[in-house]
Amino acid sequence: MAAAADLTHPTADRLELVEVLAALGHPVRLEIVRKLASGEEAFCGEVVPDLPRSSVTHHLRTLRESGVICQRPQGRKLYLALRRQDLELRFPGLLGVVLGTDFPGAEPAVGPAP
């Protein structure tokens, strides 16, 4: 995983819609965001347990650099959290639409058709 010094996060005012949408456009990254949607911080191994380390590093870096998640190292573990407040401030309603939570009984907006 990345060293603590390498974990740069853009400030909320620097988030770009095209970068956020590109990050959310990959099925693995969207699944990571869905797992973090509860608002609880999670250890990276809990969120992406079955991927090769190089893939995990790539997907988490993409999500972090786009501003979708924040990563916090603690000892040998890396904890992840969804930047829900920052995303809501910058792009109101976007996460709700992407995760399918804006509409009562709605299914996720992205994913395979039933």
Rounded to the nearest integer, the mean pLDDT of the chain is: 85
Mean predicted confidence (pLDDT) in 86-95? 95
Q: Are 70 and 77 in contact (CB under 8 A)?
A: no
- The overall longest dimension of the chain from CA atoms, in Å, is 43
Question: What are 70's strand-pairing partners?
Answer: 81
Interval 8-60: pLDDT, tens: 899 999 999 999 999 999 999 999 999 999 888 998 888 887 888 888 899 99
- Rounded to whole angstroms, the Cα distance separating 26 from 46 reads 19
- Rounded to whole angstroms, the Cα distance separating 106 from 1 reads 36
- Mean pLDDT comparison of 8-12, 45-49, 65-69, 108-112, highest-scoring range: 65-69
Coil, strand, or helix at residue 99?
helix
| 82-112 as b/e: b if 16+ CB within 10 A | bbbebbeebbeebbbebbeeeeeeeeeeeee
Mean predicted confidence (pLDDT) in 79-92? 95
Mean predicted confidence (pLDDT) in 74-103? 90
Tokens of 12: 């909320």
pLDDT computed for residue 108 by the predictor: 46
Measured N-to-C along each axis, helices 17-24 and 53-66 cross at an angle, to the nearest 10 degrees, of: 150
- Rounded to whole angstroms, the Cα distance separating 111 from 108 reads 7
